[in-house]
Structure 1
Amino acid sequence: MLTGKQRSYLKGIANSEKPITQIGKSGVTDSFLEQLDLALEAREIVKISILESSLLDAKDTANEVAEQLDAEFVQAIGNKFVIYRKSTKNPKIQLPKS
């Protein structure tokens, strides 16, 4: 579970990131989750955009994806959301202590 300070730190990092993938009409699929799992292991923090045609809510979708991938929801703004998971093999992001 992230503290407020850690969440703020991750929001600052995510601010300069571009979305690396999109969720379309088909919604959250198994192949999407596999791709995102690999991206989280490599990058630790990932920004995803939701296409308007999918009619999904960003915050609900982010929480669902984070739960399935054992990741942490960071933020949702408009049709984009950010999730974080510490890499098991090569951690890069050093979170501040509480």
Structure 2
Amino acid sequence: MLTGKQKRFLRSNAHHLDPIFQVGKGGVNDNMIKQISEALEARELLKVSVLQNCEDDRDTVAESLSKGARAELVQVIGNTIVLYKESKENKKLELPKSK
């Protein structure tokens, strides 16, 4: 579980990122979760865009993506979801320590 300080740090790092996945009409499926998991291992932090033709609401999509990829949900803002998962091999981000 991320602390508020850690979430702020991740949000500031995610600000300049572009969404690399889009959830559309088909919603969330196993293949998408697998690809997002692999991308999280490579990048640790990524954005997912929820398109307007998506049948699920953005909070449902965010929850199913974070559970499926075993990632932390950092933020849902507009139609953009920010996910974080600590990488095993490609560690890039050093989270602030919680008190």
Deviation of the 1:58 alpha carbon: 1.8
Count how many residue pairs are aligned between Structure 1 and Structure 2.
Answer: 98
The letter for the 1-side match of 2:36 is: L
5+ unaligned residues in a row in structure 2: which ranges? none
Q: 1:60 Cα deviation (Å)? A: 2.4
Per mean C-alpha deviation after superposition, the further-off stretch among 72-81 and 50-59 is 50-59
Task: State the identity %.
Answer: 45
AA aligned to 1:58 is R
Q: CA deviation at 1:32?
A: 0.6
Equivalent residue letter for 1:73: L
**Per-residue deviation at 1:11?**
0.3
TM-score by length of 1: 0.95
- In the alignment, structure 1 segments of 5+ residues that lack a partner are none
Deviation at residue 89 of structure 1 after TM alignment = 1.1
Letter aligned with residue 95 of structure 1: L
Distance in structure 2 (CA, Å) of the matches to 1:62 and 1:7: 16
Residue 63 of structure 1 and its aligned partner are, at CA, apart by 1.7
- Deviation of 1:56 (Å): 2.4
| TM-score w.r.t. length of structure 2 | 0.94
